[in-house]
């Protein structure tokens, strides 16, 4: 599945805010290595490098399109690697791991998280953020349409839903069981989006990508037209714009042992 880095960045202010709410809870002072799993176009990874200028900061992503954009930011202690994050493992110098809006794309990520936490050294930090809006109209309507009529066959198995992400309590248990102190919470942002078909524009950059990748041009346009009509009814445009609820789940862990502010 190809990613459109420009489309993903279209709502940058809205999409970036959860990252800073997440990383604001990390209290590491002088980490040696900071890893951003699923770094996308790299702008937020660069923010990690600015926060910890003495660290080796590595952004990892599987999308060549995203990494082409990120390459312009590399330099100093900031670098980027193309890899499947499911195959990554922390090393002895990995002091901070951040993964922002990426694990929902990785099947079985909770088992991976268990292994990553077990491998972290004492005092290391792991911070994750995943969407919690799979039951929202934006996602439920997409799945409903994809499972009916002419779309049932070409889109069979394309959209994952069940068990894609855990509830906050699931991540809390994983982190506590792994011998970590944990801070877990959820936030629903009320985004006020502007322009016609604002919610459709939003999901084009993320949740709709698997559908667009599975359909050819005319079919993709026809699906978008049908889906867009459903979204306009579910998210009516008001005098101030279109209100879009954006629920996110956050979890920050620090492996027990070692200095509190490594």
Which domain CATH number covers 58?
3.40.50.150
Above 70 in pLDDT, residue 261?
no
- Percent of the chain residues topping a pLDDT of 70: 92
What would the mean pLDDT of 34-56 be, rounded to a whole number?
A: 97
Residue 153: predicted pLDDT: 96
Centroid of chain to Cα 172: 18
- Range 58-70 burial, b when 16+ CB lie within 10 A, else e: bbbbbbebbbebb
Segment 237-246 shows an average pLDDT of 96
State the pLDDT at residue 24. 97
In a domain, 261, yes or no: no
Whether the per-residue pLDDT at 4 is higher than 70: the answer is no
Give the residue-averaged pLDDT of 250-257: 96
Domain membership flag for residue 28:
yes
Q: Mean pLDDT, the chain, as a whole number?
A: 92
DSSP 238: B
Is residue 69 one of the residues assigned to a domain? yes
Query: Is 239 inside any structural domain?
Result: yes
Distances (CA, A) of 5 to 39, 65, 204, 235: 11, 7, 11, 25
Instruction: Give mean pLDDT, residues 170-177.
Output: 98
Q: What angle do CA 75, 76, 80 make, to 5 degrees?
A: 50
Number of domains in the chain: 1
Global pTM value: 0.88
User: What digits encode the pLDDT tens for the residues 71-122?
Assistant: 999 999 999 999 999 999 999 999 999 999 999 989 999 999 999 999 999 9
* Predicted local distance difference test score (pLDDT) of residue 85: 95
In a domain, 260, yes or no: no
Tokens in use for 153? 């066959």
Task: With respect to residue 262, please indicate whether it lies within any of the assigned structural domains.
Answer: no
Domain that holds residue 152: 5-255
Could you tell me whether strands 56-61 and 125-131 are parallel, antiparallel, or unpaired per DSSP bridges? unpaired
Statement: residue 229 has pLDDT above 60: yes
Rounded average pLDDT over 157-162: 80
Q: What's the pLDDT band for 259 if we cut at 50, 70, 90?
A: low
202 within domain boundaries: yes
Residue 173 lies in a domain: yes
pLDDT tens digits for range 11-31: 446 679 999 999 999 999 999
What local confidence, expressed as pLDDT, does residue 10 receive?
Answer: 44
């Amino acid at each position: 599945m190809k990613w459109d880095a420009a489309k993903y960045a279209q709502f940058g202010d809205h999409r970036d805010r959860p990252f800073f709410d997440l990383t604001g809870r990390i209290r590491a002072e002088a980490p040696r290595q900071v890893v951003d799993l699923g770094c996308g176009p790299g702008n937020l990874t660069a923010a990690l490098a600015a926060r910890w200028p003495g660290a080796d900061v590595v952004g990892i992503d599987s999308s060549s399109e995203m990494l082409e954009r990120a390459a312009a930011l590399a330099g100093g202690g900031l670098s980027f690697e193309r890899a499947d994050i499911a195959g990554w493992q922390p090393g002895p110098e990995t002091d901070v791991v951040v993964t922002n809006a990426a694990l929902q794309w990785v099947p079985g990520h909770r088992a991976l998280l268990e292994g990553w936490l077990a491998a972290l050294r004492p005092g290391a930090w792991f911070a994750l953020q995943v969407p919690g809006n799979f039951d929202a109209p934006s996602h439920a309507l997409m799945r409903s349409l994809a499972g009916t009529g002419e779309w049932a066959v070409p889109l069979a198995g394309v959209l994952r839903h069940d068990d894609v992400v855990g509830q906050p309590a699931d991540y809390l248990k994983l982190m506590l069981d792994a011998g970590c102190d944990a801070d877990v919470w959820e936030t629903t942002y009320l985004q006020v989006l502007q322009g016609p078909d604002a919610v459709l524009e939003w999901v084009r950059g993320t949740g709709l990508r698997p559908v667009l990748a599975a359909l050819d041009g005319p079919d993709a346009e026809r699906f978008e037209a049908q889906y867009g009509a459903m979204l306009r009814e579910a998210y009516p445009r008001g005098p101030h714009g279109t209100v879009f609820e954006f629920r996110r789940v956050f979890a920050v862990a620090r492996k027990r042992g070692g200095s509190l502010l490594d």
